[in-house]
Amino acid sequence: MRLRGAQCPLGNRLSQYMPGIEVYLQFDSFEAEALRELRGADLRIIREQAIANLNEYNISTTLVVTLKKGLNDHEIGKIIEYALQQRCVRGVTFQPIQAAGRLEGFNPKRDRYTLTEVRRAILQQSPYFKPEDILPVPCHPDCLAMAYALKLNGKVIPLTGLINPDTFVKIMPNSVLYEQNEELKRHIFQLFSTSHSPSSAATSLKQLLCCLPMVAVPQGISYSNIFRIMIVQFLDPFNFDVRSVKRSCIHIVHPDGRIIPFDTFNMFYRQGSPGYHLVNNRFI
């Protein structure tokens, strides 16, 4: 809320921490009805003012979209297009709803929206990405997928668009993206990490491009040139998988110091969650 309004001292203060800071801003929809269902209020003007202030100070921002099937999933392409036009926005994270928190009336047979469906919607609604551009994140391929692009001279260039197809075939004869070249594999794992700071993502991209023969690294690449799409599907009681939880790379620090996977936090550790008493009674 403090990022809204014509006078924004918070924006000025945040800009002093650049490039070591990034804002994650809820941005679910352009439509009042969808916002009222997801957030309980029409937040369009507030979001518009916040984006204007973030643009003014060029504070690195990721738009975070909670997706509900049949409510705002038709806006995926429009949100990507909007994000690309904003000076401050470095990417969009799409999170299909999980059966946790304040969600009401969730029917898993009707309302489940999977990572695969979100990925397909991106390909259908946005002209910038091809199937090979949206890849599973190595640390947690069941629940995370990511695509990188460069914004250069008014154009949007997916990462794979920088690789000459003939060169790609020669260095990857078995079509496995990162298994045939250890140096290339290492840089791709680094690039598709969820623990990047704003500056380290640009560095990792440069290092990856340098590993690809005959690929010229554009001069002056910075974090402002990077655009990232991420799909994050959190687990819930209807798709819970212990094997997958063990690979989770998004965590919350509990007040007592424990590091809790985000998926299990919403189901067992957040006060008021259905499984809260099952876990917390053990520590009384």
Domain ranges for the chain, please list them: 9-162+225-243, 250-284
- The backbone torsions φ and ψ at residue 221, rounded to the nearest 5 degrees and listed phi first, read -65, 130
Instruction: State yes or no: pLDDT of 116 exceeds 70.
Output: yes
- The backbone torsions φ and ψ at residue 60, rounded to the nearest 5 degrees and listed phi first, read -55, 125
The model's pTM: 0.78
**Contact at 8 Å (CB) between 261 and 248?**
yes
Instruction: State yes or no: pLDDT of 184 exceeds 90.
Output: no
Instruction: State yes or no: pLDDT of 62 exceeds 70.
Output: yes
Query: What per-residue confidence (pLDDT) applies to 178?
Result: 38
**How would you classify residue 58: left for phi > 0, otherwise alpha for psi between -120 and 50, otherwise beta?**
left
Q: Tokens at residue 67, please?
A: 């997706």
Query: What per-residue confidence (pLDDT) applies to 252?
Result: 87
Long-range residue pairs from 268-277, CB within 8 A, at least 24 positions apart, any chain: 270/100, 270/101, 273/100, 273/101, 274/237
Banded model confidence at residue 135, pLDDT cuts 50, 70, 90: confident
> What is the rounded distance in angstroms from the CA atom of residue 264 to the CA atom of residue 273?
10
Query: What per-residue confidence (pLDDT) applies to 54?
Result: 92
**How would you classify residue 21: left for phi > 0, otherwise alpha for psi between -120 and 50, otherwise beta?**
beta
Banded model confidence at residue 218, pLDDT cuts 50, 70, 90: low
Instruction: State yes or no: pLDDT of 168 exceeds 50.
Output: no
Query: What per-residue confidence (pLDDT) applies to 119?
Result: 96
Pairing state between β 155-158 and 144-152: antiparallel
Most confidently modeled range among 10-14, 55-59, 119-123, 280-284: 119-123
Query: What per-residue confidence (pLDDT) applies to 171?
Result: 44
Mean pLDDT of the chain: 78
Give the helix ranges, DSSP H, for 229-275.
242-245, 262-264
Query: What per-residue confidence (pLDDT) applies to 196?
Result: 55
**Contact at 8 Å (CB) between 92 and 134?**
no
For tokens 């204007």, name the residue: 52
Instruction: State yes or no: pLDDT of 146 exceeds 70.
Output: yes
Please state the separation of Cα 49 from the chain's center in Å. 22
> What is the rounded distance in angstroms from the CA atom of residue 74 to the CA atom of residue 111?
15
> What is the rounded distance in angstroms from the CA atom of residue 50 to the CA atom of residue 64?
14
